[in-house]
Structure 1
Amino acid sequence: MADNRVVQGRMVTPNKLAELIEGDDVMDAEPISDADRTCPDCGGDVLEVGYMPSAMEFVTGWKCQECDWSETDRD
């Protein structure tokens, strides 16, 4: 099931969204969902994705659809 979303004008897959948040390659990512929050920088809509940057770690990340803002639950 494709659940690609538009982020900053580009269509991204769950893995690509996770890579944008992580700043590096990820092993696996869950489907993208809408986070129930707005971006603290620009007020845009925020997406949420759970992903595995390594075999031993699971991270939840958030990324604004409009600007560069992102954060993870390990911040």
Structure 2
Amino acid sequence: MPDNRVVQGRMVTPKRLAELIEDDTVMEADSIRDAERECPECGGDVLSVGYMPSVTAFVTGYKCQDCDWGTREE
């Protein structure tokens, strides 16, 4: 499975996807995965990525491929 995916018409890396969710830089990111759920705003496909926003934290972020919606779980 490729590491890069298309989000809102742009090819993004796992780290860039995490930065879109976090709205800030991140230290490290795992591979992008299909979250197997629909976006609550537009019904589009949602991707997930695990990442480290800081040295002491690991979160899972979710981002719609089609709209601005995104969220995270600690």
Does residue 1:20 correspond to 2:17, yes or no? no
Aligned position for 1:67: 67
| Number of positions where the alignment pairs a residue of Structure 1 with one of Structure 2 | 74
Q: 2-side partners of 1:25 and 1:58: how far apart?
A: 14
3-state secondary structure, aligned to 1:63? strand
Q: 1-side partners of 2:2 and 2:18: how far apart?
A: 15
Instruction: Give the superposed CA RMSD.
Output: 1.2
3-state secondary structure, aligned to 1:21? helix
TM-score, normalisation: structure 2: 0.96
TM-score, normalisation: structure 1: 0.95
Report percent identity of matched pairs: 69
Q: 2-side partners of 1:53 and 1:72: how far apart?
A: 11
Runs of 4 or more above 6 Å deviation: none
